[in-house]
Amino acid sequence: MIKVGKNILKEVYKQRSPDVHKYDFGLLLVIGGGEFYTGSPTLAALAAFKTGVDMVRILAPKRAADIIATFSPNLAAYPLKGKWLEGEDLPTLISMAESAERVAHGKTAIVIGGGLGRTEETKETIIKFLSQVSTKAVIDADAIHAIALRKELIKEKNFLITPHCFEFFILTGRQIQGLPLGEKVKIVQEEAGNFGVTILLKERIDIISNGKEVAINETGSPFMTKGGTGDTLAGICGSLLAQGIEPFTAAQAAAFINGKAGEIAANKLKESLTATDLIEAIPEVLR
pLDDT at 233 over 90: yes
CATH number of domain containing 85:
3.40.1190.20
Helices 247-269 and 275-286, packing angle to 10 deg:
110
Count of domains for the chain: 1
Cα separation, 211 vs 159, whole angstroms = 13
Is 115 flagged in the annotation as binding? yes
**Domain of 14, in residue numbers:** 2-286
Mean pLDDT on 196-212: 98
Query: What is the per-residue pLDDT across 103-149, written as a single tens digit (0 to 9) for each?
Result: 999 999 999 999 999 999 999 999 999 999 999 999 999 999 999 99
263 CB burial (10 A radius; 0-12, 13-18, 19+): middle
- The distance between the two most distant Cα atoms of the chain, rounded to a whole number of Å, is 51
Closest CA to 209 of 161, 172, 170: 161
What is the mean predicted confidence (pLDDT) over 146-159?
A: 93
Tell me: is residue 220 an annotated ligand-binding position.
Answer: no
CB 151 within 8 A of CB 171: yes
Q: Is 52 annotated as a binding residue?
A: no
Q: Please give the Cα distance from 206 to 81 (Å, whole number).
A: 37
**Distances 13 to 100, 116, 245 between C-alpha atoms, Å:** 23, 31, 10
Of 43, 59, 51, 82, nearest to 135 (Cα)? Answer: 59
pLDDT of amino acid 143: 98
26 labelled as ligand-binding?
no
The DSSP output letter for 163 is -
| pLDDT (mean) for 200-204 | 98
What pLDDT is recorded for position 156?
85
pLDDT tens digit sequence for 43-94: 999 999 999 999 999 999 999 999 999 999 999 999 999 899 999 999 999 9
Mean pLDDT of the chain: 97
